[in-house]
Amino acid sequence: MRPVLPEEMERMVGVIHSKFSAIQMQLKQSTCEAVMTLRSRLLDARRKRRNFSKQATEVLNEYFYSHLSNPYPSEEVKQELARKGGITVSQVSNWFGNKRIRYKKNMGKFQEEASIYTASTVADTTKVWGPRSQASCPSTASSGSSGHFPLTSARDALITLRTLASPRPAPGGGSLWSQSRGSWQGTTPPVSTSPPAGYPSGANSHASH
């Protein structure tokens, strides 16, 4: 065996270095990938979903059904609803998004709810503090919780009666309260209780992250 020359040695060190770098990079990449997967699996908020409190759903429903013609709360209103319900503004936005689409998709199912929340809540929580703002926080004890039906207006009485009488409004003549004048639910509300068998799949492309 001949002695290894210094030049050869340097060359070998270089090769080992580059191989080591390559493996290091591979390892880093796969590790990062695994971490990302785990993170998305474990930190996805959907896996820790908690239902909102009664207070939150009440406040949200009150506003929604009080502004059925235009259920798009402004940023300030969202903040107020969030504060009253003890949830975040994002949650309010999520809730309204879900509520709008689900209400439109199946209006019949929400009639009962609508009559409940439109009956007595308009004068209670959403409009009180126009003229005078009471300085102290309301105790939020029970604002119209488990139900009394004041039936303060004829319209509410009509809606209530109609709802109780026919749980499934026929698609043809159901829209007694035709509030769909050019508002958010402009398109055809499909059917109440029997969804169509197939979906027209849209074309998908484009990604932005």
Asked whether position 95 contacts DNA by CB under 7 A, the answer is yes
CA angle 78/80/82 to nearest 5° reads 70
- Smaller CB distance to DNA: residue 21 or 140? 140
Rounded Cα distance between 142 and 160, Å, is: 22
Does the footprint of DNA cover residue 196 (CB under 7 A)?
A: no
112-141: contacts with DNA (CB under 7 A): none
Q: How many residues does the chain have?
A: 209
Which region, judged by CB under 7 A, interacts with DNA, from 129-137, 140-148, 154-162, 199-207?
A: 199-207
Taking alpha carbons only, the member of 64, 73, 82 closest to residue 121 is 64
Q: Give the tokens for residue 3.
A: 């002695």
User: What residue type is 26 in one-letter code?
Assistant: Q
204 makes contact with DNA (CB under 7 A): yes
Which among 4-12, 97-105, 116-124, 136-144 is the span making contact with DNA, rule CB under 7 A? 97-105
Residues 124 and 129: their CA atoms lie apart, in Å, by 10
Residue 162, classified by CB atoms within 10 Å of its CB into exposed (0-12), middle (13-18) or buried (19+), is middle
Residue of the chain from 1, 40, 194, 197 that contacts DNA (CB under 7 A)? 40
- Total binding residues toward DNA, as defined by CB under 7 A: 37
DSSP structural state of residue 37 = H
> Does residue 16 bind DNA (CB under 7 A)?
no
Tell me which residue has tokens 């508002």: 183
Select the residue interacting with DNA from 98, 142, 166, 175 (CB under 7 A): 98
Among 1, 45, 135, 141, binds DNA (CB under 7 A): 45
67 forms part of the interface with DNA (CB under 7 A): no
91 binding DNA? (CB under 7 A): yes
Give the Cα separation of 94 and 108 in Å (integer): 22
Give the footprint of DNA on this chain (CB under 7 A): 40, 44-52, 57, 72, 75, 90-91, 93-98, 100-102, 104-105, 109, 184, 187, 199, 202-207, 209
